[in-house]
Structure 1
């Protein structure tokens, strides 16, 4: 069920569904982004790296987080705009075959000068299947306020 600005509370947390990162995800993201760095696309090269195998693009995993957050339904039709991504960190590699899920926590909410919207600041984290935080940062989004009855 979509949530409006008024429905969110500081400290509230939301967990997303999970999904497994596939080789197709990595190949498709390389094609869309143009990032064919061999750490992502060359299995033989990747064996010689500290990871020992190919890793998913960090921005691919960030993109997956945005999609997983959308699947919760909380922001369906109520997000007006993304305003900022703050202090985003790529903490651990995500490997092909890892299963990731996200968590969001409302850190701050503030009204704007326009009566139909507000701003949310959320801490977001991506976890792998072992419960390790692999990425984290803050999203700042503009969200619709609940329409007035009869509007």
Structure 2
């Protein structure tokens, strides 16, 4: 059984995390195209893509966004504590994700807000960067997630000065 993830009450503004890595494959892109129906030629046609400014096929921007979300949650950080994904804002596609790129996510707690009508829940907003193997930020933005929170009278974690291990 996996360990329980962090609750809203255990997070603090400025807390930093880093995900594991994963490589983006042709199979990922073909599967995403089939699932979404987005067969844009820059993603699926080698002949077409070679004539574009990219010079080769690239992954869908929304595939990168989806992978970023999976990488954030895949390490178990919010396992059993996340209730709902509430939204994204200020998302920017800065550079293409190429077949074979290895990506990971850096994310920081940017805002914490306890729900007034449900004090056992809180919203965390993360500032998120999707980064390739060259250290280039290819996408960035903010993601809001609804989490379970401890009651106000529950014991709180000790000090918040310890480094958070990369996931």
TM-score normalised by structure 1 residue count:
0.95
Counterpart for residue 20 of structure 2? 17
Count of paired positions: 149
Q: Secondary structure at the match of 2:86?
A: strand
Q: How does 1:59-78 map to 2 (within 5 A)?
A: 59-78=62-81
RMSD: 1.3
Alpha-carbon distance between aligned partners in 1 of 2:85 and 2:105, rounded to the nearest angstrom: 17
Q: How does 1:109-148 map to 2 (within 5 A)?
A: 109-113=112-116, 114-146=118-150
Deviation >6 Å, runs of 4+: none
Greater share of strand residues, 1 or 2?
A: 1
Gaps of 5+ in 2: 155-167
Gaps of 5+ in 1: none
Q: Secondary structure at the match of 2:69?
A: helix
Alpha-carbon distance between aligned partners in 2 of 1:118 and 1:21, rounded to the nearest angstrom: 33
2:84 is equivalent to residue 81 of structure 1: yes
Alpha-carbon distance between aligned partners in 1 of 2:45 and 2:104, rounded to the nearest angstrom: 26
